C-alpha cells in the first residue's frame, strides 16, 4: 500500500502520573513527535499495555480548553476525555491529544461561535457564520503518530464516523469501532442533540436531557461495536 502520509518520528517519551478531579489515577507515557504535518504539538498518551490484549484501543481527542481544563458543561469534552483515559488504560492503547480546539477553528473563534449560539445558531451554523467549515479537523497528525508508534491496526474509540474514515484513508486499519459513553447534562443537551443530528454521531442519536444528571463518566453505556463520533 502506498501511503501519502508523511513520516513522523518519536521525539521523546516522558512518564507522567495522572490524577483526575474525581480521584482516578493512572500513569501515562507521553510522547512528543518530530515531523507532524501541521506543525502542531500533538501528544500521544500511552496507557496500560498497548497490544497486550489485541489491537490497541485508540481515542483521538480534540483539545477543548474550556471543557478539558475548566470543566465547561457547554460540551461533553471533559467527561469524554476522563472516560477515554480509563477505558484505554484498562485495555491498553493511546489517547491522542490533538490540538484542534473548536473542531479546528481555534479557541477565540470557538468562543465567538458560543456567542452566536447564544443568539440562536447551532454549533455547526455558528462555525459557518464565522467563515469556517462545520468541521475543519484533519487527522493526518493522528495517523502520523500511530505510524510512529507502530500502531497501524487499532480499535477506535469514537462516535465520529469521520475520524474512522480519515484514519482508514491514512493507512490505519480499524479492527473495531467502539462507541464512547453519553455524558449528558442540562447545559450540553442541545449541543449533543445537534452533534447527533448534524455530525452523524450515531451513538448520540436520541440524546435527551435527563434532569440534573451530572456529566460524570458513564463508560460503555452507549454500547460497544457501533460507529462512534465525538
Catalytic residues: 135, 137
Q: Are 98 and 62 in contact (CB under 8 A)?
A: yes
Contacts of 150 (CB under 8 A, 6+ apart): none
Q: DSSP for 86-112?
A: HHHHHH-EEEEEE--HHHHT-HHHHHH
Site for Zn ion in 69-98 (CB under 5 A): 75, 77
> Hey, which residues does 26 pair with through a beta bridge?
18
121-160 footprint of Zn ion as x/- string (CB under 5 A): ----------------------------------------
- Closest CB 40 distance from Zn ion, rounded Å: 17
Kindly tell me which of 123 and 140 has the beta carbon lying closer to Zn ion.
Answer: 123
Residue 55 as a binder of Zn ion (CB under 5 A): the answer is: no
Look at residue 47 and give its three-state secondary structure.
strand
Among 56, 67, 92, 141, binds Zn ion (CB under 5 A): 67
Place of cell 521525539: 11
Kindly tell me which of 155 and 183 has the beta carbon lying closer to Zn ion.
Answer: 183
Count of residues making up the chain = 230
- Closest CB 20 distance from Zn ion, rounded Å: 16
> Hey, which residues does 11 pair with through a beta bridge?
none
Among 8, 43, 64, 84, binds Zn ion (CB under 5 A): 64
Interface residues with Zn ion (CB under 5 A)? 64, 67, 75, 77
Amino acid at each position: 500500500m502506498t501511503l501519502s502520509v508523511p513520516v513522523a518520528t518519536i521525539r521523546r517519551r516522558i512518564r507522567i502520573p495522572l490524577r483526575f478531579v474525581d480521584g482516578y489515577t493512572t500513569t501515562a507515557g507521553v510522547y512528543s513527535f518530530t515531523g507532524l504535518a501541521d506543525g502542531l504539538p500533538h501528544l500521544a498518551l500511552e496507557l496500560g499495555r498497548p497490544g497486550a490484549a489485541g489491537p490497541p484501543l485508540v481515542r483521538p481527542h480534540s483539545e477543548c480548553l474550556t471543557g478539558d481544563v475548566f470543566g465547561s458543561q457547554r460540551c461533553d469534552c471533559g467527561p469524554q476525555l476522563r472516560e477515554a483515559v480509563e477505558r484505554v488504560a484498562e485495555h491498553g492503547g493511546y489517547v491522542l491529544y490533538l490540538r484542534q480546539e473548536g473542531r479546528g477553528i481555534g479557541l477565540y473563534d470557538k468562543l465567538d461561535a458560543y456567542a452566536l449560539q447564544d443568539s440562536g445558531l447551532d454549533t455547526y451554523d455558528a462555525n459557518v457564520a464565522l467563515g469556517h467549515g462545520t468541521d475543519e479537523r484533519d487527522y493526518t497528525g493522528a495517523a502520523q503518530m500511530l505510524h510512529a508508534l507502530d500502531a497501524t491496526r487499532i480499535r477506535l474509540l469514537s462516535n465520529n464516523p469521520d475520524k474512522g474514515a480519515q484514519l482508514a484513508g491514512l493507512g490505519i486499519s480499524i479492527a473495531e469501532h467502539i462507541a464512547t459513553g453519553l455524558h449528558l447534562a442540562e447545559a450540553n443537551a442541545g449541543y449533543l442533540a445537534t452533534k447527533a443530528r448534524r455530525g452523524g454521531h450515531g451513538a448520540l442519536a436520541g440524546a435527551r436531557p435527563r434532569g440534573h444528571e451530572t456529566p460524570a463518566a458513564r463508560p460503555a453505556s452507549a454500547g460497544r461495536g457501533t460507529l462512534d463520533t465525538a
